[in-house]
Amino acid sequence: MGGWAIAVHGGAGVDPNLPPHRQEEAKKLLTRCLNLGISALRSNHSAIDVVELVVRELETDPVFNSGRGSALTANGTVEMEASIMDGNGRRCGAVSGLTTVKNPVSLARLVMDKSPHSYLAFSGAEDFARQQGVELVENEYFITEENVGMLKLAKEANTIVFDYRIPAVGSETCSAVAESPLQMNGLPISVYAPETVGCVVVDNQGRCAAATSTGGLMNKMNGRIGDSPLIGAGTYACNLCGVSCTGEGEAIIRGTLAREVAAVMEYKGLSLQEAVDFVIKERLDEGFAGLIAVSNKGDVACGFNTTGMFRGCATEDGFMEVNIWE
């Protein structure tokens, strides 16, 4: 085994006009989360425990689109989703349609560990959360003033926002109002700014795990489910690797993107980075997305076909990097 490795992401498809102070804010959060994961790995925590720990931290901070700070539905409420997967036995848990659960990724973990199922959604997931005694908050806890403004912008543009954040310095400075060739399921959209969060880890025993969490699309239809809670699409882990995806959920679902990384490693014999590059190039069709991945050998990789991706990674040999652009 090549030692532990960890990668985190805060979304692919960064607006090129994102102000420098917002870039630094995002990089500081990614660095903090990496250091949290590194400390846990150095204390011999398991991969599955570390991905949950890191994603909980990302959900608690409103910088990205998960937990507090999640994107708003067309009705102005928050509906969150998350998934987690342990490559050791391919155990998994997923949740959708959460409105009061403070940390969706931890409820997904409980679905995996404490229920006979792999996926719970909407009222059933909320009922399970109450049964398990997880921390619940009012829906208003997740709503930020900035997101209320973004929803207003999205409604005025009669569009949805992937996944959510454009600089809140006035719409005249952002690309949201410009013509865009981007489409989702064949329908034009005018904003692309995903900020789903995720973490992948391989521990010092070679066990891989992955977790992904999101508030979804700004101005999305109530009940819309994206790739983040779908095992094999937004999240996947097995004995070879762990993968977390971000971006155009509908394209990620069609391409079963996370599972494809593991598949081409297994069936084509590709290395981790080769597999990531192949999947981004060959499996997205006209979609836009990014992903992070680790292998059981301690390798770490990322790939994206967007203008940027909030990301960071570290390995046991001392390497650590946090980036946004290519």
Collapsed DSSP state (helix, strand, coil) of residue 316: coil
List alpha helices for the chain, DSSP H.
20-42, 47-60, 104-114, 122-132, 145-156, 249-254, 257-268, 272-282
How do strand 289-295 and strand 309-315 relate by DSSP bridges?
A: unpaired
DSSP state of 305: S
Contact by Cβ (8 Å): 291, 244: yes
Alpha carbons 31 and 125: distance in angstroms, whole number: 32
Residue 225, both tokens? 């489910």
Strand bridging mode 5-12 / 80-86: unpaired
Instruction: Name residues whose C-beta falls within 8 Å of residue 42's C-beta, 6 or more positions apart in sequence.
Output: none
Considering the candidates 159, 196, 212, 256, report the single residue annotated as catalytic. Answer: 196
Pick the closest to residue 125 from 80, 161, 166, 90 (CA basis): 80
Q: Answer yes or no: 100 catalytic.
A: no
Residue ranges for the known binding site for substrate are 224-227, 246-249
Contacts of 110 (CB under 8 A, 6+ apart): 93, 128, 129, 132, 134
CA distance 193 to 176: 9
The region that residue 134 occupies, defined by phi over 0 for left and psi between -120 and 50 for alpha, beta otherwise, is beta
Give the Cβ contact number of residue 153 at 10 Å: 20
* CA–CA gap between residue 325 and residue 224 (Å, rounded): 29
Residues known to be catalytic:
196
